[in-house]
A and B are shown apart, each in its own frame.
Chain A
Amino acid sequence: MTDVSYRELSLNGLWKNNPAIVQLLGLCPLLAVTGSVVNAIGLSLATCLVLITSNTAVSLIRNIVSDAVRLPAFVMIIASAVTCIELLMQAYAYELYQILGIFLPLITTNCVILGRAEAFACKNSLLPAIYDGLIMGLGFGLILVLLGALRELAGTGALLADMDLLFGPAAESWKIVLIEDYQPFLLAILPPGAFIFTGLIIAVKNLIDARIQSRMDAMKEKPVKGSKRVRVTGTIS
């Protein structure tokens, strides 16, 4: 498989086959840690890095590892990638590491990563595999950040709070208070809020898809009225 279209890959990862809202994979971290933008960015960065690393490694060893043991091999690769990322976060963003807690090591079991390793990386050469990891990670991360932003906004009336956990002290002033005197809407921050908002995002995505589809149908050439042949008697040529 050498003729991989990068355009197709991008479209797939970001929209048509988005891991979070179409494949509905990796919902556990999606629902658990998207209470704020900073958590979402932290986790999506980690997931994206793991995806790229694991796709790279899996693509490199795809001809060496036999079919029978491929899954344990993939899981080992993913687990070591996750451990590296976890140690990195512990070193450079310790507070965020503590907030994300168990959900960092749990990236190992995130179905998106194993799914891409099995469905794409082990069948494709290095560059497309890396690109696929990047795009799928981005698609996952975008939804995570969108969900985090929606929930933070609905929950606290502000955006980008505590960004210094990830970007250093310079980011302390990034917080935007959109609504003063906002009564915290706890439901949005609690897990049920994650389910409700994910559902709404999926609904909006489906709505946009339906719109596009109906526009495409409208643009399709319609058969001219009256041109239909009533009876066909035999072929001409």
Chain B
Amino acid sequence: MALMRITSPHAHGPMTTSRVMQNVLLATVPGIIVLTHFFGFGVLVNIAWASILALGFEALALRLRKRPLGFYLGDYSALVTAVLLGIALPPYSPWWLIAVGIAAAILLAKHLYGGMGYNPFNPAMVGYVVLLISFPVQMTSWAPPRGTGELPGLLEALQACFTPASFDGVTMATPLDVLKQNNSLLLEDLWQQNVQFGRWAGLGWEWANLAFLAGGLWLLYQRIYTWHAPVAMLTTLTLMSALFYDGGSSASGGSPLFHLLSGATMLGAFFIITDPVSSAVSNRGRLVFGGLIGILVYLIRVFGNYPDAVAFAVLIMNLAAPFIDQYTQPRTYGHASNRSDG
């Protein structure tokens, strides 16, 4: 028998794409439970409807592209996109809003670029930004959290999704939104006058963020990704908010704790920017990538037009990822560094 000549690496890890994706899905569960507890069944309806649509669109795209259906549907990547988008969308969204978002994510951001592994942008974030730009009203009306009013039941959640005209939804500005509109109150007064601020960063939001943090730490422990990008992002976000925090005047952008625990911070840090396809590839590159996202998140949140910024920051840095890779190429073992012979 002839010797097979195969280049290294010769040892394979037990992780396959579908195992990784299953782990990611599993890690979102605590966050989803907390969100459902605070915002009601709308969260679950969002995720379920998004998943059905994502599998449908994925199958359609694979058929059109004449790719094996079973193989690609079995890698759970479409499901991860759907779950992330479902979490990011406001609960009790109408069915068509989710459909447009998923179509943009799966067809436009994923399959037009060549499908799984070829997309330069994070599909879930593309879907989110398409929706945010197109339907700003629907995308910024969040349901009030538990403790500020009656939560709709499962039946009402389904009604809100599939017959939006018959659903009389109650909405409430999110803490980030209120902070953005505020221009006269001290932060302390703001906290007292608005029930949705909760203890540190928003009723429901703080616990959801902590739950996503827990899920993310479990993924780190499972070695699904390295610590570089999330740690860099959270560090720069903390630094930026500490730098601009002046003790709580009306012009300050909020305390570091507020920024760490509000909006999509933890979801972004552990589930979005760690996407292996659209982020930078080397560890040093991931530090730069995550760090710049943290800075951008703060800048866009406080000085931009939209209340939350994770999606925009991630897309901008997705665009910059190849550029970062270019300058953070690790030295090949046994060779001089690139810079000295350049």
Contact = CB atoms under 8 A, between A and B. Distances in A.
A185 B108 contact: no
A183 interface: yes
Interface string B130-149: 10011110100000000000
B172 interface: no
B96 A187 contact: no
Interface in A191-225: 192, 196
A232 B287 CA distance: 68
A187 B108 contact: no
Main secondary structure of the interface of A (DSSP, over half): helix
A24 interface: no
B154 interface: no
Main secondary structure of the interface of B (DSSP, over half): helix
A188 B100 CA distance: 12
A146 interface: no
Given A183-B96, A185-B100, A196 B108 contact: yes
Q: Of B96, B100, B133, B138, which is in contact with the most chain A CB atoms at under 10 Å from its CB?
A: B133
A237 to B, nearest CB: 50
B163 to A, nearest CB: 13
A190 B134 CA distance: 9
Contacts of A192: 133
A187 B132 CA distance: 9
Contacts of A190: 133
Contacts of B96: 183
A186 B108 contact: no
A183 B108 contact: no
B173 to A, nearest CB: 21
Interface string B104-142: 000010000000000000000000001001111010000
Interface in A173-190: 183-188, 190
A23 B136 CA distance: 36
A150 B96 CA distance: 19
Contacts of A196: 108
Nearest to A183: B135
Contacts of B133: 186-187, 190, 192
A183 B108 CA distance: 20
7 contacts: A183-B138, A184-B134, A185-B100, A185-B134, A186-B136, A187-B133, A188-B134
Interface of B: 96, 100, 108, 130, 133-136, 138
Given A186-B136, A196-B108, 6 more contacts: A184-B134, A185-B135, A187-B134, A188-B134, A190-B133, A192-B133
